[in-house]
Amino acid sequence: MSILKVSRLGHPVLREKSRPLTPAQLAKPATQTLIDNMIETMFEYHGVGLAAPQVHESLLLTVIESQGERGRIPLMVLVNPVVTVLEEGPKAEMEVDWEGCLSIPELRGRVPRHRKLQVKALDRHGTKLKFVAEGFFARVIQHEYDHLMGHVYLDRMPDLQTLTHLDELRRYWLPEESEETEEPVALKKSKDAAS
């Protein structure tokens, strides 16, 4: 396995809508190696997700896994995902929380995301998946799905007032949030950031 170079904000691949993978393309050894390398890269950089555009491949493919304080997510490979918000309109539950991204290193910002969604996708072997994601899991899925559609978390921020460097987040924002809740909602470690 190899650690892949992560594309950074400004590279055109991050603003392209990704192409779906056919079953034949997914089964190719090169695609399976790409998946293994994406998983290895995600672990190397302590991300909780990594989308193919972040490693310079404009494909509808993402990997996700979290063992962090914000929530546990088993290792998943999502191919050609379709994401449907389950609650829309005035009753839709949105949560605002901190996000970061491997393609936008050392920055964090507060991003509103839907609390609950349904995901349909294929796994790495072409098996159909269908599940409901809530909370932090739903946030990670939306973050990675945005990458597949050519967006980054900055596009979802209503304003840039909370955009901050990671060190300043720890210094100025986290102590303030710790006083408001028993456990900080914000990130404690960079490894808990969605990528």
What is the set of active-site residues?
144
CA atoms of 129 and 122, how far apart (whole Å): 6
Structure tokens, 56: 């310079």
Q: How far apart, in Å, are the Cα atoms of 9 and each of 140, 141, 153, 168?
A: 18, 19, 11, 21
Structure tokens, 81: 């995902």
Residue spans of beta strands (DSSP E) within the chain: 49-51, 61-68, 71-85, 94-101, 104-114, 116-122, 128-134, 164-165
Structure tokens, 98: 């901190």
